[in-house]
Structure 1
Amino acid sequence: MTALTDGLSLYEGLDAAQKELVACNHFRAPKLFTDSILSPCPYTAFQCPSYKHYVNGKCVSCGEDGRGCARLGLHADKWPGSNQNKSLVSLYLTTTAGPHYCLYHYLLKLDLADPGGVVGNLRGNLKVSFFADDGSLRDFNLTPERARTFARGRSYVFFIGHHENLSSAREALVQWTYEADMFNPLSYCVLFCDTSLRLAKLTFTSVDHVDNGGANEIERESSETTEESREVVMCHQQGLDMVRIKSEATVKVVSSASCFNVTRANITRAAATKQNNHTLDLLNAGLASLSSLFKDMNLIAR
């Protein structure tokens, strides 16, 4: 509980913590309201039919009239739907434990490539790290609970948040780790299979752009940002049609105008000219998988 740090002494801190425990989340409301005044973070809440829809990133549009989202805190009464909706409306947002409670919201879309000649799905763990303005990395674990199955040629969307504004990020690192399912022997890659993840492009979109009135100068400038600049597309740093990420490897993707030209059709045509190299890659992947399998068998035997 953050209240433990609010007191000037241990006794005062424990007393504040006891009050927070009894008051539950209602005691947190004044802190959120105060932070909404002091923080440049917009505290955007999105109208959504359920929390499940919200965390899956299905409710991030404010709509043409702006009623799809609202700003929590001082300017909450400026929401266009406050005087038009007589029924209760559910709005969701994500906060942290503090002291900076607000999170900026982003949609992260991964378009996986399907080069042809490779069958089956991939199961594993995926992480993405964005370069901040100072060159440091901001990490996002896209499979925090367990490994996930990915189908080649499919697109996957993740709804993520961070207490820093990362909308200016133009480079990212993508880390992929293949993981076989111990309850499914067929998931082990033994020979002539490929555990690499092939990424066509990564799209990073800032969705915190709502002006319900009373915006400060920084927020007004942000509201003038075009829709195109909110969406950053990253792909192979040398302009190739796809990025091959071997298991337990990390690759860099960058924002480029050529990324908008990356399509699955281009990837399929390019793959047809690389079939011989692809077969060699499969042989190498098979040998690597055999080594991994024997390593797992040794661990089980122990």
Structure 2
Amino acid sequence: MSQEILRVDDCNVIAVDWGSNGGSMFPYTQATANTQIVGAIVAQMIAFLMQETGNSAISYHLIGHSLGSHTMGYAGMRVPGLGRITGLDPAEPYFQGTEPMIRLDPTDAELVDIIHSDGGFFFTSLGYGMYDPTGHLDFYPNGGIEMPGCDEGLTHYIDMNGGIYEGGREYVACNHLKAIAYFHDSINSVCPMMAYPCRDYDRFEDGHCLDCGQGGCAQMGYHADRYKPAPGVTNLKYYLDTAARSPTCLYHYQIMITLGTDSDAQELDGFLHLSFVTQTGTVTEYYKLTEDPIKLQPGNSYLYFLKLPTDLGNLQRVRFLWDYDWSIANPTTWFIFSKPKIWMDQIQVLAGESQNRMSFCAFNNYFVEDVSTDLRLC
């Protein structure tokens, strides 16, 4: 992480080691108490550097994981005007639900940004991290509790990490460690790791929150300082999805499909598929929008959410395909003398990262089942 930061910024990076002397080791209760001591020592070092160099507190950015997040909070309490603290999944046991002075909170720096990756309650799901918002900007990748790539068996982690100790550590704390991986990826990623303000993760997953609107979106990770909120605004919650492996950044797309109407149109059950044709002529695979058949009602609109590893950029066309869902045991679903058809009005695509809105019109034409049809920009 130090090397990645030095690639992108002209700065000095100092690592605080409080583990080799046992300060961050078991018992956890002692490590928790030690955070206050280490925080005071970090603050003392910053005061010394400011006195010797003449630089200001605003130029310091403290980064801590788990207990280290609260350690940096204790340092910030002692350094008025500290620039920024990034908390990577701040530890939950003995900190969640406590008074702000006991844990990392927005008063500890001019900007406090948090990545929550293991926010399940410790005593029921062994979640090591806090779920409650505790910064100016609180990011909840994948909902902040269960992370992609953390559902493998123990032998997988041992093989991946070359040993029982490191493998076992990642197996037990995989979700908790993902906050570090996401921050690391964000430093020099070509993908912006854009996150979206939303009421909760369920609503985000339904595709309702990709419009940045007046509240604005924010980048998770190293570049979150570009989105510092107005004075006094805290606990802004943002959501995004990530991939299971590095590079973990994904691009988010909201798809709105509006069916047309016709005197011959009827309600049918089916599956929806969509492919994209970019401005460069690249054609993507077909993405299945519905795992289960849905009722396709004339005139209705259907909202879907796609997360892709690549930026599609501007689109010139979309390709639409639908499959009719029929049952051999139900004669009312049979089409004997004709193929089932639905009528289409338009398909709208909102690219979350660019906020580019694109509409593709079908002009209320019918689409035959299992026949791919192109829609152009309108």
Deviation, structure 1 residue 71: 0.8
TM-score with structure 2 setting the length: 0.53
**Structure 2 equivalent of residue 291 of structure 1:** none
Q: 1:174 aligns with which of 320, 327, 333?
A: 320
**Structure 2 equivalent of residue 50 of structure 1:** 200
Deviation, structure 1 residue 129: 0.8
Residue 136 (structure 1) aligned with residue 258 (structure 2): no
Q: 2:258 aligns with which of 103, 111, 118?
A: 111
Deviation, structure 1 residue 79: 2.7
Residue 150 (structure 1) aligned with residue 300 (structure 2): no
The 1-side partners of 2:212 and 2:347 are apart by 23
1:35 alignment partner, SS class: helix
Could you list the runs of 5+ residues in structure 1 that have no partner in the other structure?
Answer: 210-226, 260-302
Residues 1-302 of structure 1 mapped to structure 2, 5 A cutoff:
1=149, 12=162, 16-66=166-216, 69-81=217-229, 83-86=231-234, 88-119=235-266, 121-132=267-278, 133=280, 135-144=282-291, 146-180=292-326, 185=330, 188-190=333-335, 195-209=340-354, 230-236=356-362, 241-255=363-377, 259=378
Change (3 A) 1:29 1:83: farther
The 1-side partners of 2:164 and 2:181 are apart by 18
Contact 1:106–1:206 (8 Å) recurs in 2 = yes
Deviation, structure 1 residue 189: 3.3
Could you list the runs of 5+ residues in structure 2 that have no partner in the other structure?
Answer: 1-148
Structure with greater Cα Rg: 2
Deviation, structure 1 residue 39: 1.7
The 2-side partners of 1:38 and 1:6 are apart by 26
Change (3 A) 1:32 1:63: same
1:242 alignment partner, SS class: strand
Contact 2:268–2:324 (8 Å) recurs in 1 = yes
The 2-side partners of 1:198 and 1:141 are apart by 19
Deviation, structure 1 residue 83: 4.6
Change (3 A) 1:82 1:176: same
- Of all paired residues, the percent bearing the same amino acid is 25
Q: Deviations over 1:241-281 (max 9, x none)?
A: 234221222112222xxx3xxxxxxxxxxxxxxxxxxxxxx
Deviation, structure 1 residue 60: 2.0
Deviation, structure 1 residue 141: 1.0
Change (3 A) 1:117 1:90: same
Q: Which moved more, 1:121-130 or 1:15-24?
A: 15-24
1:106 alignment partner, SS class: strand
The 1-side partners of 2:211 and 2:246 are apart by 28
Contact 1:189–1:195 (8 Å) recurs in 2 = no
The 2-side partners of 1:182 and 1:16 are apart by 54
Q: Deviations over 1:140-189 (max 9, x none)?
A: 21012x11111111111212121111131212211110002678x47513
2:222 alignment partner, SS class: coil
Change (3 A) 1:147 1:195: same
Q: Deviations over 1:79-116 (max 9, x none)?
A: 34375334x44321010112221111111111111122
Deviation, structure 1 residue 124: 0.7
Contact 2:157–2:168 (8 Å) recurs in 1 = no
Change (3 A) 1:154 1:10: closer
Change (3 A) 1:48 1:195: same
Structure 1's consecutive aligned runs of 4 or more residues displaced over 4 angstroms after TM superposition are 1-7, 13-16, 190-194
1:137 alignment partner, SS class: coil
Larger relative CO (CA 8 A, sep 6+): 1 or 2? Answer: 1
Letter in 1 for 2:227: W
Contact 1:65–1:80 (8 Å) recurs in 2 = no
The 2-side partners of 1:51 and 1:23 are apart by 22
The 2-side partners of 1:157 and 1:173 are apart by 17
RMSD: 3.0
Count of residues in correspondence between the two structures: 226
Report the structure, 1 or 2, having the larger helix content. Answer: 1
Letter in 2 for 1:205: L
1:57 alignment partner, SS class: coil
Letter in 1 for 2:352: V
